[in-house]
Amino acid sequence: MRKIEKPFLEFYNKGLNDADIAKIFNCSRTSVLNWRKENNLITNHYENNRIKRINSYKLKQSLKRKYSSINNDCISFITGTLLGDASISKKITFKYSHKLEHKDYVIKKAELINLKGSYYESYTKLKGVKFPCYIFSAYTHPIFNKYRKLFYPEDKKVFPVEHCKKYLNWKAFALWFGDDGCYLKGRGVALAVFALSSRIEDIRKILKENLNLDCTIHGKEKGILYFSKKDLPYIRKNIIEFLPECLHYKLGSV
C-alpha cells in the first residue's frame, strides 16, 4: 500500500471517492478504504453529499429570494389579464400574447404585474390569417398554482366571483379592457366577455358595485358589455395611465 499512497492521496485531495480511485488504479475499493482508514481520512462520498446538500439548500433559498414580490396591486393586474387574454396552463405556465404592434403593451403588463419572464416573437392565426405576435412567458412563481385552481377549477376558465368582488378594481379592469375592449365611434366602448358569459350578470353587478359602472348586455350570445358614451370620460380617466399609447385608440384617444 505504501508504494501507491502518494498517488492515492493526489486523487483523494481532488475529491474522488473510494470507488473512483479504485477504478483509476485498477485495485479493489477495499484497498482504498483500508488506506484511508490507516491515514484517518474521511470518505469523500459523504463529504461530497454534504456539500451537495448545502449547495442544494443555498440554491433553493436563492430561488425563493428571486421570486417577484406580489402585492394586492399585482394581484389586481393578474386578475384583469386572466379575465382577458392571459392563461395559466396545466403545467402552471403563465403566458399571454398580443399582435406585434402592441409589443409595448406586452411589456407594460409584465411591469405592472411585477413578473419576470421571457419575451419572444412568433406567429398566430386568427380566422385562418397568420400574423406576427409578441409573447410573454413568466418564470415559475408559487402564486400561479393558486390562480390555476382559482380560474380553471375544471380545466376551463371561469369568472371567480368571490375573488373578483375583492380584486376587480380599476387596475384589473384596465388590463381586462386592454385585452378585450374596443371603441365604438360615437357610441361608447364595449368589452367582450364571451368565454365568461355564463357569469355575465355577476360581472355586471360587480362592475357596478366596485367601479360604479353601468353597462348593458349585447350580442347574440350575450357576450358583450356595452358602456355608453357618457361613461367614456369616466372610464378613460381611471384606466388610461395603465395602458401604453399604442392602446389609447381603444378609448377614443388617438
pLDDT at 126: 79
pLDDT at 4: 47
Residues 72-91: pLDDT tens digits? 999 999 999 999 999 999 99
Q: Are residues 28 and 142 in the same domain?
A: no
Domain boundary among 33, 66, 99: 66
Q: Are residues 151 and 188 in the same domain?
A: yes
What is the average pLDDT value for the chain, to the nearest integer?
Answer: 87
- Counted domains in the chain: 2
Query: In angstroms, how far is CA 193 from the centroid of its own chain?
Result: 22
pLDDT of 3 over the 90 cut: no
Domain encompassing residue 175: 72-251
Residue 81 C-alpha cell reads as: 389579464
The CA radius of gyration of the chain, in Å to the nearest whole number, is 29
Mean pLDDT of 190-203: 94
Share of the chain above pLDDT 90, in %: 63
pLDDT at 5: 55
pLDDT of 236 over the 70 cut: yes
Q: Are residues 129 and 19 in the same domain?
A: no
pLDDT at 66: 66
CATH number, domain at 122? Answer: 3.10.28.10
pLDDT of 1 over the 50 cut: no
Least confident of 56-60, 90-94, 218-222: 56-60
Q: Are residues 52 and 155 in the same domain?
A: no
Q: Are residues 15 and 132 in the same domain?
A: no
Residues 99-125: pLDDT tens digits? 999 999 999 999 999 998 999 999 988
Residues 149-182: pLDDT tens digits? 999 999 999 999 999 999 999 999 999 999 999 9
Q: Are residues 33 and 79 in the same domain?
A: no
pLDDT at 90: 94
Bridge partners of residue 189, in order along the sequence: 183, 227
Q: Are residues 175 and 149 in the same domain?
A: yes
Q: Are residues 241 and 190 in the same domain?
A: yes
Q: Are residues 102 and 190 in the same domain?
A: yes
Domain boundary among 33, 48, 66: 66
Torsion of CA 195, 168, 238, 103, to 10 degrees: -50
What is d(CA 254, CA 245) in angstroms, rounded to the nearest whole number? 8
More confident residue, 222 or 58: 222
Domain boundary among 26, 43, 66: 66
Q: Are residues 20 and 55 in the same domain?
A: yes
pLDDT at 216: 94
Please, what is the end-to-end C-alpha distance for the chain in angstroms?
A: 86
What is d(CA 147, CA 89) in angstroms, rounded to the nearest whole number? 11
pLDDT of 50 over the 60 cut: no
What is d(CA 105, CA 246) in angstroms, rounded to the nearest whole number? 7
Residue 166 C-alpha cell reads as: 375583492
